Amino acid sequence: MPVFFDFSDSNKSIFWFLLPFDIADEAYLISFSQNEFIDVLNKDGFDELVFKLIPKIKDMIIEHKLSISNSSMNYLLNKRIRRKNRSL
């Protein structure tokens, strides 16, 4: 379950929420517009935030991590192939 923080910064209308991840004991700190937060709560309630919005954010994080992982894997494979071609 996410934990929401309001640090009452007078210059910005931003909430922060700590989003725990079940995978690898990770957590992410994400900024969220205070106005959007209030709009979602007023329009659809807390359930919309917890059961629809947060899972979408988690999916985006997973996709990003996978793309980084795939990029790293491709880089390592290409590096290995270049080394192998040099030795030939």
Q: Rounded to two decimals, what is the model's pTM?
A: 0.50
pLDDT tens digits, one per residue of 10-42? 667 888 888 877 666 778 888 888 888 888 888
Distance of CA 35 to the CA centre of its chain: 20
Gap between the Cα atoms of 31 and 86, Å rounded? 47
Neighbour tally for 41: CB within 10 Å: 13
Enumerate the domain spans of the chain: 3-87
Q: Are 39 and 48 in contact (CB under 8 A)?
A: no
Q: What is the pLDDT of residues 46-85, one digit of tens each?
A: 777 777 777 787 888 778 777 777 676 666 666 666 666 6
Question: Running DSSP on this structure, what letter comes out for residue 21?
Answer: -
Round to the nearest angstrom and report the end-to-end CA distance of the chain. 55
pLDDT of residue 15: 84
